[in-house]
Amino acid sequence: MRFVDEASIIVRSGKGGNGSASLKRAKNLPKGGPDGGDGGKGGDVIFRASNRLLTLYDFRVRSMFEAENGVNGKGQDKYGRNGEDLVIEVPVGTMLWDMTEDEDEPVLLADLARADQEFVVCPGGIGGRGNLHFKTSTNRAPKYAEPGKPATEKRLMLRLKVLADAGLLGLPNAGKSTFLSAVSAARPKIAAYPFTTLVPNLGVVEDQNSRRLVIADIPGLIEGASQGAGLGYQFLKHVERTRFLVHILSGEDADPENPEAGYAMLNEELRAFDADLAAKPQIRVINKIDVLDPERLAALRKNAPGDILFVSALTGEGLDKLLAEMWARFDALSPAAELNEDGSEIEAPDWAGES
């Protein structure tokens, strides 16, 4: 299934059923009387965040969604049945934008950032009242009943932003996918050519206390990504929600005399795209030290600032130290526990599902 992170759809709630204007017909009631029941309520359109889904591909295949209409009321005090609600599941991290009024300035309706979070986009129409509600002392046989309220329709833009604690940042072939496969159960495609990763991949690392750290491998960025070059512009938004970034530089691309300079280009692309994104904390890593000759590696270690970590995702060298630093950043940047209205702690969302 193709990774799709944007889709435009139309949703419509159910209309309310009409009330009935029925009058009784019985031998023992020569003057009759109103007995029209109410119409049923139309179904709501509800969006629900689900960990089972990873893409908005289904919404490219189908773009129209309608809830069930309420059933009309009938005579003999029979009330119409309510229409079934339409529950639409979307991946966790989906944002719902209302484009009904203005396509150029859509309105954010909801950000479904937690598993099982729900939002009613289009409430169903209320059913009309039957004529039994309008009987008065001066009008004992009203022939009037209310029509059901109309359906609500909206045109929506769905936008998915991957949810993760850490985002892997680096040029194509920096070894991000190899790192992700080495520390988690994720199995991204790995090959010796640029842009192997064409979609964001998620991996989950667990510690001895069963805590989970979700890592997103973002497709390789290149110079000019913030203006749309390569794959970067399409996927830069997926690192916006991460708490921190792991910026990986291949040892083959690093300048032995000035290893720090290799991080400047992508950092500039981040600033051009979003200043807040560029301000996120980074762990800087030089990867692929297993393929470097001893002299080049020694020069890199000598000239690199002390915060740059040296690893080989392929052999595992240095990964324990890198993971320890990632857990330290995770702890330092974890938000304070959110509380429900009753004061109990809100459970943390299971963002990535099973890896």
Same domain, 129 and 258: no
Cβ contact 3:115 at 8 Å: no
Cβ contact 110:69 at 8 Å: no
- Rounded to whole angstroms, how far apart are CA atoms 246 and 226? 19
Cβ contact 212:234 at 8 Å: no
- Rounded to whole angstroms, how far apart are CA atoms 78 and 80? 7
**Residue 99 pLDDT level (bands cut at 50, 70, 90):** very high
Domain C-terminal end among 160, 183, 210: 160
CATH code of the domain containing 88: 2.70.210.12
Residue 347 within any structural domain of the chain: no
222 pLDDT higher than 70: no
Q: What is the pTM of this model?
A: 0.67
Residue 348 within any structural domain of the chain: no
Same domain, 310 and 172: yes
Residue 339 within any structural domain of the chain: no
Residue 343 within any structural domain of the chain: no
- The residues, ordered by sequence, that sit 6+ positions from 152 with a Cβ below 8 Å of its Cβ are 12, 13, 45, 122, 123, 124, 125
308 pLDDT higher than 80: yes
Domain range for residue 210?
Answer: 166-333
pLDDT tens-digit map of 12-68: 999 999 999 998 877 666 666 899 999 999 999 999 999 888 788 899 889 999 999
Which backbone phi and psi does 204 adopt, to 5 degrees? -125, 130
Residue 352 within any structural domain of the chain: no
Same domain, 203 and 148: no
350 pLDDT higher than 50: no
Cβ contact 305:258 at 8 Å: no
Same domain, 22 and 43: yes
Number of Cβ within a 10 Å radius of residue 285: 28
pLDDT tens-digit map of 75-87: 988 999 999 999 9
pLDDT tens-digit map of 147-165: 999 999 999 999 988 777 8
Q: Which of 251, 264, 246 is nearest to 328 (CA)?
A: 246
Pairing state between β 201-206 and 64-66: unpaired
Residue 228 within any structural domain of the chain: yes
Same domain, 137 and 229: no
Same domain, 54 and 103: yes
3-state secondary structure of 155: strand
pLDDT tens-digit map of 242-301: 889 999 999 998 999 999 998 988 888 778 877 887 888 999 999 999 999 999 999 999
Same domain, 61 and 191: no
Residue 346 within any structural domain of the chain: no
Domain count of the fold of the chain: 2
Q: Which of 214, 303, 288 is nearest to 257 (CA)?
A: 303
- Rounded to whole angstroms, how far apart are CA atoms 171 and 229? 13
Q: Which stretches of the chain are assigned E, i.e. beta strand?
A: 6-12, 45-50, 64-66, 86-91, 94-98, 107-112, 118-122, 153-160, 166-170, 201-206, 212-217, 244-250, 282-287, 309-310
3-state secondary structure of 201: strand
- Rounded to whole angstroms, how far apart are CA atoms 47 and 112? 9
191 pLDDT higher than 70: no
Residue 355 within any structural domain of the chain: no
Same domain, 156 and 176: no
Same domain, 181 and 300: yes
- DSSP letters, 32-76, are --B-PPPPPPPPPEEEEEETT----THHHH--EEEPPPPPPPBTT
Same domain, 98 and 179: no
CATH code of the domain containing 258: 3.40.50.300
Q: List the single range of 101-105, 129-133, 134-138 with lowest mean pLDDT.
A: 101-105
Winning range, highest mean pLDDT, from 122-131, 138-147, 191-200, 230-239: 122-131
Q: What is the mean pLDDT of the chain?
A: 82
**Residue 355 pLDDT level (bands cut at 50, 70, 90):** very low
Same domain, 285 and 214: yes
- Rounded to whole angstroms, how far apart are CA atoms 342 and 223? 50
Domain C-terminal end among 160, 187, 221: 160
Same domain, 97 and 53: yes
